[in-house]
Chain A
């Protein structure tokens, strides 16, 4: 079997698996368990699996483009880089969420303080309401 070739059986299994995965992601979006922005990422990923399963020669071309002789190594490299990129993206999303959470906590603390302060009049040195 030449490099980059697959049996028809393997192709069908892989494509079927990818399509099921895409359907599952769509279902998660439909139930509002996954937001569109992240779902898109996964759908694109699985769509690429479909493409490479349908046209195994494509992997050989990609490998040649990357200057890698063995397409299996190209697959390994692409998978590794994509995984790292995804993790960085998740870290960014997590940082943003953390910042939002902190901001909400601060606003909550200030709101509660202002409500309590206004409910119980204090010394005349109290600042005027803005």
Chain B
């Protein structure tokens, strides 16, 4: 019998996809508790998630991805879950991905990152994740910086599919990161002595909704990301 599991799904205006994501998870992982964190949506995200059988934590206004995930980690920590997985609400991550992450976690890792870049580069494989050129550059840049900052190889630092064991849950219940927490969290985990591993995953095209990125936001994202990595590397760490 495997240990209890909490799947957290941060969602902001994802009424079109969130119910299917929750259904998929519940049928594939019947023992898991699914928690959707509604990050101040204007649409019926919370209602759809609740109807699909998920626990729903509703933030009263949009707080950003970092605070939303932090809410989920804090719930897991307070209610004693030893394992936590997070995935995106837009349907990019299939339940198989969650199982892959869990397998890696049960193999002894503290923090698992699902990477979208497969090693076997088969150009005829249409199911592969193919980001635009600028996005690929950005991901490569940040992955390199995060790898340097964390001392572990990370090929997809922006991935939203991650799994955490007890030590990571404790660390991130306190703080996961600010507006763009993907990089900071990895650097902090590594510097706190957590064992980080990557697992290769396949993502699906998003089922509904649009990416939250615009050109201006991308510039802001890069500047913010650079600052957060630099700060995370220079901050004193509490031993986990």
User: Once the chains are docked, how many angstroms separate the CA of A102 from the CA of B37?
Assistant: 14
B238 interface residue, CB < 8 Å from A? no
Query: Interface range on chain B: under 10, 10 to 19, 20 to 34, or 35 or more?
Result: 20 to 34
* Pick from A112, A125, A130: contact of B78, CB under 8 Å: A130
Chain A residues lying within 8 Å of B30, measured Cβ to Cβ, are: 125
A-side contacts of B61, CB under 8 Å: 105
Among A106, A125, A126, A128, chain B packs the most CB atoms within 10 A around the CB of: A106
Bound Cα distance A6, B103 (Å): 80
Q: For the side of the interface on A, what is the size category?
A: 10 to 19
A106 x B74 contact (CB < 8 A)? yes
A99-130 contact mask (Cβ, 8 Å, vs B): 1 or 0: 00010011011101100010000000111111
Determine whether the beta carbon of A113 is less than 8 Å from that of B55: yes
Interface membership of B232, Cβ < 8 A: no
A113 touches B33 (CB 8 A): no
Contact B80 A127 (CB under 8 A): yes
Bound-complex Cα distance A99 to B226 (A): 21
* A106-B59 contact, Cβ under 8 Å, with A113-B75, A125-B31, A127-B4: yes
Q: List 9 A-B contacts (CB under 8 A).
A: A105-B60, A105-B67, A106-B59, A106-B70, A109-B60, A110-B78, A113-B75, A117-B55, A128-B79
A interface residue numbers (CB < 8 A to B): 102, 105-106, 108-110, 112-113, 117, 125-130
